[in-house]
């Protein structure tokens, strides 16, 4: 990991610099002064996605979902809990494919829920379907080194 990380604020999406040694600290956004880590998934749209996807050095785990999808709704609490366990090493985000069809199309999302793990602006792993907490954490940990 580099000496300085860049990461997008979960509130205002401004890109911040944070020394890697302070990753465990809560850190505050230089623009909005709110915490850089909230232990909850960040809802992203087309305007905010790239700040977290390509401008952040923190791995990004995205849940592509839709409100009408039963498995998506059942999986939501599991994904929410995972944010508390994976931050600050991984940023978790949700993209509503109903509201953001351009992002679903950009990443070729064919079924939901679909999880995609990104690092340094590229996709490193993908899985479709809901999982339990243990399976989700093992899948992420197993793919972080990819």
Q: Given 9, 12, 29, 72, which residue is catalytic?
A: 72
Contact status, residue 14 vs residue 31, Cβ threshold 8 Å: yes
Question: Is 72 known to be catalytic?
Answer: yes
Q: Given 12, 29, 32, 69, which residue is catalytic?
A: 69
Asked if omega into 61 is within 30° of 0 (cis), the reply is no
Question: Is 69 known to be catalytic?
Answer: yes
d(CA 6, CA 96): 25
Contact status, residue 39 vs residue 56, Cβ threshold 8 Å: no
Nearest partner of 96 among 28, 42, 17, judged by Cα: 42
Active site residues: 69, 72
């Amino acid at each position: 990991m580099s000496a300085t990380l860049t990461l997008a604020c979960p509130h205002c999406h401004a890109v911040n610099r944070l020394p890697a040694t302070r990753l465990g600290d809560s850190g505050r956004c230089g623009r909005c002064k709110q915490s850089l880590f909230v232990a909850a998934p960040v809802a992203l749209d087309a305007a905010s996605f790239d700040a977290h996807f390509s401008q952040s050095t923190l791995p990004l785990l995205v849940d592509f979902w839709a409100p009408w999808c039963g498995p998506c709704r059942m999986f939501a609490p599991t994904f929410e809990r995972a944010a508390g366990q994976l931050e600050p090493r991984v940023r978790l985000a949700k993209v509503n494919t109903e509201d953001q069809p351009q992002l679903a199309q950009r990443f070729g999302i064919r079924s939901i829920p679909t999880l995609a793990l990104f690092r340094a602006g590229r996709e490193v792993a993908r899985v479709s379907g809901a999982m339990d907490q243990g399976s989700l954490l093992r899948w992420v940990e197993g793919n972080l080194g990819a």
